[in-house]
Amino acid sequence: MIRFFVGCGKRFAKVKDEWRNEAVIRITQSREHSRWHLIVEGTLSGVWADELEKCWLDTKASANGEPLRVDLSGVSYIDDKGRQLLARMFRDGAELRATGVMTKGIIEEIAADIASSETS
């Protein structure tokens, strides 16, 4: 039997009474020059989207209105739940950054959808 336990940035699996650390998403929080950063690596889907949301809300509470940048360059997959979370973050003022074609495309779609809904 495998049981999964979620913690901020890591998933722990228990297989036959042995713990294995299986990182599916890693979220690193940092602060540079009055700007908060979340660096996201791995899969942004399902419970991992929930985990990013928790980290985002914690960072947002600590930021006291300072700008927040979310680096998605290390993200390999985003499902609908992850996309919805990114849209909420974008609407809230987070700067979303990425280097991959897929992730850049998703960010551009989110920005376009929000811009068109604001002009309607």
Residue 20 has pLDDT above 90, yes or no: no
Residue 62: closest CA among 31, 22, 23: 31
CA distances from 113 to 13, 44, 63, 118 (A): 38, 20, 27, 9
Whether 86 and 59 have beta carbons less than 8 Å apart is answered as: no
Res 62 pLDDT > 90: no
List the strands of the sheet with 18-21, edge to edge.
2-7, 10-15, 18-21
Report the candidate in 70, 18, 27 with the shortest Cα–Cα distance to residue 47. Answer: 27
> Which tokens belong to 113?
């959808």
* Cα–Cα nearest to 23, from 1, 51, 54: 51
Q: How confident is the model at residue 65 (pLDDT cuts 50, 70, 90)?
A: confident
Domains of the chain are: 26-119 (3.30.750.24)
Mean pLDDT of 55-84: 93
Q: What is the mean pLDDT of residues 31-46?
A: 91
